[in-house]
Every structure is written in structure tokens, then in C-alpha cells.
């Protein structure tokens, strides 16, 4: 079956531009997570959804970051007025239930020039 | 704050040898640890996990050891193969009061297998 997919795989943005990153979780998975992975580092938690409810956004680094999952399936991570420090790989993961194993997508590599 | 980290950033091993990747954690309240493998251009992939009430857990060619006294976690890979070349992360699972849980990852160790 299909795993978690993310698009685009690569995104180059000029500083100040807005970007939108998409995550398609595994069908039927209730929980969805976003992580940010800087070069040479481990992933860092950004936010968590249970169905369409965003239960935890404590990891979002600033109010320029916004995530949504309006129908409890596909999720979008939006970054407004991108800065160079936003350059990273953004990973999406989903799990069937809250405490279950998380399955990760391939990530979107964002480069802000 | 609490953190999960690794002792060795890189590790090179000969094909067929055993590999040991280490991880130190600081949150003594952690009750669940996971090892992930991440290949270039891919997301992390679950390898094996262990609960804090266990000292050892074995999988296929992999063994995880947990020493709560010194807050140390290790991943042992037997008969290392070229396909094992990747970056390995340990992660700690924690629950928040918001009904959420999250994984806290260490920095990773790059394993290179020499044919």
C-alpha cells in the first residue's frame, strides 16, 4: 500500500516568499505530525493533529508557521515570509492511533535564498 | 532542557562486522525509546523500540540495550551489510497534557559500511 507522500520534494524560495508544503498521510491514519530537520540534525517536532484538530503546536518556531488539516486527511504546512533559517527538510509522519508507530514521508527540502 | 544525544557522530565498520551505536538521554522520566534509520533522501524508518522496564530487546539482526542507571541506550547491528549504511537516530517518546505525544530525536550517527 502507499506510504506517506509529500509534495513538492524540493522547494526553492526567495527570502520573504510564502510557501505551502503538502502531506498525504496513510489512508485511515488518525494522527499526523510535522517535523523540521536541519542539515546534520535530528528531526524536531513542530505540530500534531488528531483528525482535523490541531492538538499541539508547541514546536512551531514562530507565528509565520501555520499548519492545517481541514478534513482530517491531507495536511498543509504554510510558512509565511520565509527566512534563510527556515531552510530545512520538513517531514510529515502519520500513525493509525495516537501512540502507534509513526510512518514518515520522504520530506520536502526547502531552501530559502 | 531535556535532551537525547549521541556520543559518536560517525562510525565506519567492515562488512560482516558488528556495529554498536550509542545514545545518551537526560530525561529520567522517559519510558519509551525508539531507534530510527534514515537513508539519504528518505524519512526516518522505525527499527526497534524498547520500554523503560526492559533492559534488552532483540529484533532481526538488531538488539537494543537500555541502561537506566547511566541513562544510556545502544543499538547493536549484527553482521553489518552495505544496506545498513545510513544515519541512525535514537528518539524518546513523551506525552503532553494536550493529548499529544511527540518524539524527541538525538543528532544522529552516520554508519558507513566498508565492503
pLDDT at res. B98: 64
Residues B87, B110 contacting (CB under 8 angstroms): yes
Which residue would you say has higher pLDDT here, B28 or A65?
A: A65
- Is the CB of A68 inside 8 Å of chain B's CB atoms? no
CB pair distance less than 8 Å for B43 and A106: yes
DSSP A84: G
Placement of cell 545514545 in the chain: B23
Q: How far is CA A66 from CA A35, A82, A98, B65, B112, in A?
A: 13, 12, 21, 39, 37
For residue B83, which phi and psi values (nearest 5 degrees)? -70, -10
CA dist A45 and A33 (Å) reads 8
C-alpha cell at B25: 538521554
Which residue would you say has higher pLDDT here, B93 or B85?
A: B85
Which residue of A lies nearest to B40 if distances are taken between CA atoms? A106
- Is the CB of A93 inside 8 Å of chain B's CB atoms? yes
DSSP A73: S
CA dist B109 and B32 (Å) reads 20
- Is the CB of A104 inside 8 Å of chain B's CB atoms? yes
Which residue would you say has higher pLDDT here, B9 or A110?
A: A110
CA dist B87 and B11 (Å) reads 10
**pLDDT tens, residue by residue, A51-104:** 999 999 999 999 999 999 999 999 999 999 999 999 999 999 999 987 788 999
CB pair distance less than 8 Å for B99 and A102: no
In chain A, which residues have their Cβ closer than 8 Å to the Cβ of B103? 33, 35, 43, 45, 102
For residue B37, the distance in angstroms to the closest alpha carbon of chain A comes to: 11
C-alpha cell at B37: 534509520
pLDDT at res. A85: 96
Lowest mean pLDDT among A71-75, B21-25, B27-31, B75-79: B27-31
CA dist B49 and B46 (Å) reads 8
Question: Which residues of B fall below an 8 Å CB-CB distance to A?
Answer: 4, 41-46, 89, 91, 93, 96, 98-108
pLDDT at res. B97: 64
- Is the CB of A63 inside 8 Å of chain B's CB atoms? no
C-alpha cell at A72: 482530517
C-alpha cell at B52: 523503560
Lowest mean pLDDT among A1-10, A44-53, A60-69, B5-14: B5-14
CA dist A57 and A84 (Å) reads 22
pLDDT above 70 covers a percentage of chain B that reads 89
> Which band of pLDDT confidence, cut at 50, 70 and 90, is reported for residue B94?
confident
Amino acid at each position: 500500500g502507499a506510504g506517506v507522500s509529500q509534495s513538492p520534494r524540493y522547494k526553492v524560495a526567495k527570502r520573504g516568499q510564502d510557501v505551502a508544503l503538502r502531506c498525504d498521510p496513510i489512508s485511515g491514519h488518525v494522527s499526523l505530525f510535522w517535523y523540521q530537520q536541519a542539515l546534520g540534525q535530528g528531526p524536531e517536532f513542530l505540530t500534531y493533529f488528531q483528525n482535523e484538530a490541531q492538538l499541539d503546536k508547541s514546536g512551531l518556531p514562530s507565528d509565520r508557521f501555520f499548519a492545517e488539516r481541514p478534513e482530517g486527511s491531507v495536511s498543509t504546512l504554510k510558512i509565511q515570509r520565509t527566512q534563510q533559517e527556515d531552510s530545512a527538510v520538513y517531514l510529515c509522519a502519520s500513525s493509525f492511533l495516537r501512540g502507534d508507530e509513526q510512518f514518515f514521508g520522504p520530506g520536502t527540502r526547502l531552501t530559502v535564498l | 532542557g531535556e535532551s537525547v544525544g549521541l556520543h559518536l557522530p560517525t562510525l565506519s565498520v567492515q562488512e560482516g562486522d558488528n556495529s554498536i551505536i550509542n545514545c545518551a538521554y537526560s530525561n529520567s522520566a522517559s519510558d519509551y525509546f525508539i531507534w530510527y534509520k534514515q537513508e539519504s533522501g528518505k524519512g526516518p524508518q522505525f527499527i526497534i523500540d524498547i520500554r523503560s522496564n526492559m533492559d534488552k530487546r532483540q529484533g532481526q539482526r538488531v538488539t537494543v540495550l537500555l541502561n537506566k542507571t547511566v541513562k544510556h541506550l545502544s543499538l547493536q547491528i549484527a553482521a553489518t551489510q552495505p544496506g545498513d549504511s545510513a544515519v541512525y537516530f535514537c528518539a524518546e517518546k513523551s506525552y503532553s497534557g494536550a493529548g499529544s505525544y511527540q518524539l524527541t530525536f538525538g543528532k544522529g550517527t552516520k554508519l558507513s559500511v566498508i565492503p
